[in-house]
Amino acid sequence: MEQNDIRNVAIIAHVDHGKTTLVDQLFKQSGMFRENQEVSERLMDSMDLERERGITITAKNGSYRYGDYWINIIDTPGHADFGGQVERVLRMADGALLLVDAQEGPMPQTYFVLKKALENNLRVVVVINKIDKPAARCDWVIDQVFDLFVKLDAPDEILDFPIVYTSAKNGYSVMDLDEPVVDGGNMEHISRTIVSHIPAPSGDSTAALQMQVGTIDYSPYLGRLGIGKVVNGTMRLNQPIAVARRDGSIQPVRISKIFRFECDEKVAVESAGVGEIVAVAGMDDVTVGVTFTDQENPAPLPLITIDPPTISMNFVPNDSPFAGKEGKYVTSRHIGERLEREILSDVALQYTVLDDAVGYKVSGRGELHLSILIEKMRREGYEFQVTRPQVIFREEDGQRQEPYEALTVDVDEQFQGAVIEKLGKLKGQLLEMNSQNGMVRMVFSIPTRGLLGYRSQFMTDTKGMGMMSYVFDTYRAYAGDIVNRVNGVLVVKEACTAVAFALFNLQERGKLFIEPGEALYQGQIIGECSRSSDLVVNPGKGKKLTNMRASGSDEAVILTPCTRMSLEDCIAYINDDELVEVTPESIRLRKKTVGKTRG
C-alpha cells in the first residue's frame, strides 16, 4: 500500500447523529461487498449490546477502496460515557469527519469530540447529516458549528473547513443544498473530500518501527489483537521486535499475524508500511497504549492521556439470601480477575481494592460506562452486587471540588417550567436558552451528582418527548447537598413468595417493581413508596382462607402492570443504604442490611 494513497479518518459526532450509518453507505458504495451479499444495517455495531441498544459502544476500524486510495475509517461511539474511546483512537487518524445532525445541530458531545480532534491537530471535514429530515435547518446548524470552532480557538486553516451535506440513511451527498440528487445519488463527495482535504499519513518508512495500540480486539483463535497505526518503519511478520509497555519496560515480542481491514473484515498480510492501520497478534497481554518498536533502537510513543473517571461504584460479592444460586462466577477473586481483564482494553476504567470491605471500587466516565460493564459481566455468568454511583471528589487549594456536566435539553415550551424547576433543585444553573417553533433548547451547568437518576424524572416531566444529553465539563466547588430521590421504598418484611392479593393491596402504597409468584427475601425492595419514608411490607400475605372460597380465586385480582426497571434505572435509583444485586438471571434491589429491617 502506497503511503500517499492512504487516508486515516475518524468519524466523530454526538450520539445518534449517524456515524455508523454513514460507514455502512461508504462500504456499500465502495463495491467491495459481493453482489447479493447480505449486509446488516449498522454493520460496525457488531457487539450484541450495540445491536440491542442501537448505539455504538466501542470504537472500530474498517477500510474501503476509493479509486487508488485506501480509506481507513474509525467509527467511534457518540455517547459521552464512551468519550475515552474517542480520545484514544484519534491517534490513529490524520483527519476527522465531524458529523452534525441537520436538525439538532451541535450537541454537548459534538463539542467534546471536536475539542479532542483539534488537540490532536486533525484536519476536519464537517458533514451535515440527515438533510432529508423535514425539520432540517442547515444554515442555522452551520452557524452553530462555526461558533463551536471559534469557541475552541481553531486555527485559521482548520476554520476553513469544507462542508458536505448528506443523508447517510438514503446514501446520498451534495456539496451544495441546491445541487440535485440524480438517480438516488451517492456518497462520492465524502470520499472525494477526504482524499483532497485530509493529508496522507506522514512518517518515515526507513526509520525504526513505531506502532501504538489504540484498540484491542479479540479473536477466538489468536487471542488478543492490538490495533494501531504504523507511524514509522515497517511491521513484518515474525520479525523480532520489542514492545514498550505503559510502565516503561521494554520486552521482545514476535508478531505472529498481521491483518489489514477490508470493510469490516480482517485480511491477513505479510507486512504493513507507514500509515497503515493494522491488527496484530502475538502478544497475549497486549494493552491499549503499548508501542511496538525496534529491538535495537526502541522508540516508545508518548503515552495516551485521557480524561480521568468522574464516577465510581463498588462491586462486591453477592451476600443476599439468594447468593450463589444463579451465577457461575461469584467470588471476589472472580470479580477482580474480570476487572483486571477489562482495564487492559478500556483505559478509561480504573479499579482499586476496597480497604474497608471485600470487593472493588470501580471508576469510569458515567453511569452508562459502568452499567455496560455490569451487563457484560452478568451475561458472562458473573453474580455480584453494586452500590450507588458516587461522583469522584477532588481537593484543590483546600477546596472540595466535584465534577460538573454541560447539559443540553430540548423540550416543548409547555414543559420548560417543570424542567427548570427540577434542575434548579438539583443545583443546575441555566446558562443559555433559545426557542424556535415551540421548542426550547436550554443549556445548563450542573453537578454530575445532580444528574444521577434524573433521566427518568425528565422523561416523566416532558411526557417522554424531551431530549437531554450531557458531557463532563470541569471540576468546580462542591455545590452543597442534593436530594436525588424523594420517595422511600417498599421493603419486604420476611422471606416469602409474592401473592397477587397482597400486591393488590400494596398498590395503594406505591409503585410496584415485581409480579406475583416471585420469590422474595427479607430486606428486598419491591416498589417505590408514595411517601418519603420507607415502608416495611408483607407481599406474601394471602387472603384469609375461608372455606367458602375456592383456591385460585387469588388470580382473579387485577393488578396494575408493574414497573420493570432496567439495570441502568436500578443503578440510578438506589440510595446509599441500598444495593443492586446482579446475576445472569435477575436484577434485584435490596437494603444493605438484610435481616435487620424492622416491621
Ligand X SMILES: Nc1nc2c(ncn2[C@@H]2O[C@H](COP(=O)(O)OP(=O)(O)OP(=O)(O)O)[C@@H](O)[C@H]2O)c(=O)[nH]1
Residues found near ligand X in the complex (CB under 6 A)? 13, 15-21, 42, 55-56, 77-79, 129-130, 132-133, 167-169
Parallel/antiparallel/unpaired status of strands 399-412 and 467-477: antiparallel
Of the pair 263, 301, the CB lying nearest ligand X is at 263
> 289 contacts which partner out of ligand X, Mg ion, none, CB within 5 to 8 A by kind?
none
Of the pair 79, 361, the CB lying nearest ligand X is at 79
- Paired strand residues for 491: 525, 536
Q: What is the per-residue binding string for Mg ion in 10-49, x denoting contact by CB under 5 A?
A: ---------xx-----------------------------
**CB of residue 109 vs ligand X: minimum separation in angstroms?**
8
**CB of residue 77 vs ligand X: minimum separation in angstroms?**
5
**CB of residue 514 vs Mg ion: minimum separation in angstroms?**
35
| Identity at 145, one-letter amino acid code | V
**CB of residue 146 vs ligand X: minimum separation in angstroms?**
21
Output phi, psi for 581, to 5 deg.
-95, 125
**CB of residue 122 vs Mg ion: minimum separation in angstroms?**
19
Q: Can you give the three-state secondary structure of 136-180, one letter per residue? A: CCHHHHHHHHHHHHHHCCCCHHHHCCCEEEEECCCCEEECCCCCC
Of the pair 49, 479, the CB lying nearest ligand X is at 49
**CB of residue 42 vs ligand X: minimum separation in angstroms?**
5
Give the CA dihedral 332, 338, 339, 340, nearest 10 degrees: 110
Among the listed ranges 52-60, 97-105, 366-374, 480-488, the one in contact with Mg ion (CB under 5 A) is 52-60
**CB of residue 579 vs ligand X: minimum separation in angstroms?**
30
> 375 contacts which partner out of ligand X, Mg ion, none, CB within 5 to 8 A by kind?
none
Please count the residues of this chain forming the interface with Mg ion, following the rule CB under 5 A. Answer: 3
> 7 contacts which partner out of ligand X, Mg ion, none, CB within 5 to 8 A by kind?
none
> 16 contacts which partner out of ligand X, Mg ion, none, CB within 5 to 8 A by kind?
ligand X
**CB of residue 114 vs ligand X: minimum separation in angstroms?**
15
Of the pair 15, 235, the CB lying nearest ligand X is at 15
> 193 contacts which partner out of Mg ion, ligand X, none, CB within 5 to 8 A by kind?
none
Query: What does the alpha-carbon distance between residue 208 and residue 197 come to, in Å, rounded to a whole number?
Result: 28
Q: CA nearest 110: which of 234, 47, 19?
A: 19
Cβ neighbours, 10 Å, residue 564: 10
Of the pair 10, 154, the CB lying nearest Mg ion is at 10
- Paired strand residues for 427: none
Quickly count helices (H) and strands (E) in the chain: 14, 35
Of the pair 359, 366, the CB lying nearest Mg ion is at 366
Among the listed ranges 50-58, 114-122, 357-365, 424-432, the one in contact with Mg ion (CB under 5 A) is 50-58
Of the pair 78, 273, the CB lying nearest ligand X is at 78
Q: CA nearest 29: which of 210, 184, 143?
A: 184
> 15 contacts which partner out of Mg ion, ligand X, none, CB within 5 to 8 A by kind?
ligand X
User: Which residue minimizes CB distance to ligand X?
Assistant: 78
**CB of residue 568 vs Mg ion: minimum separation in angstroms?**
19
Query: What does the alpha-carbon distance between residue 310 and residue 473 come to, in Å, rounded to a whole number?
Result: 11
Q: CA nearest 16: which of 104, 127, 144?
A: 104
Question: Residue 566 to residues 39, 235, 456, 459, 587: CA-CA distances in angstroms?
Answer: 30, 46, 11, 15, 8
Among 9, 10, 17, 56, binds Mg ion (CB under 5 A): 56
> 388 contacts which partner out of ligand X, Mg ion, none, CB within 5 to 8 A by kind?
none
> 169 contacts which partner out of Mg ion, ligand X, none, CB within 5 to 8 A by kind?
ligand X
Angle among Cα 78, 454, 390 to the nearest 5 degrees reads 85
Of the pair 13, 377, the CB lying nearest ligand X is at 13
Query: What does the alpha-carbon distance between residue 10 and residue 153 come to, in Å, rounded to a whole number?
Result: 21
Mention every residue, 6+ apart, whose C-beta is less than 8 A from residue 31.
65
| Identity at 400, one-letter amino acid code | R
Are the beta carbons of 537 and 490 closer than 8 angstroms?
yes
Of the pair 21, 310, the CB lying nearest Mg ion is at 21
Coil, strand or helix: which one is 318? coil
Of the pair 115, 543, the CB lying nearest ligand X is at 115
Q: Can you give the three-state secondary structure of 351-394, one letter per residue? A: EEECCCCCCEEEEECCHHHHHHHHHHHHHCCECEEECCCEECCE
Of the pair 82, 454, the CB lying nearest ligand X is at 82
Among positions 308-327, residues that touch Mg ion (CB under 5 A) are none
Question: Residue 335 to residues 232, 316, 351, 493: CA-CA distances in angstroms?
Answer: 39, 8, 11, 30
**CB of residue 433 vs Mg ion: minimum separation in angstroms?**
30
| Residue ranges binding Mg ion (CB under 5 A) | 19-20, 56
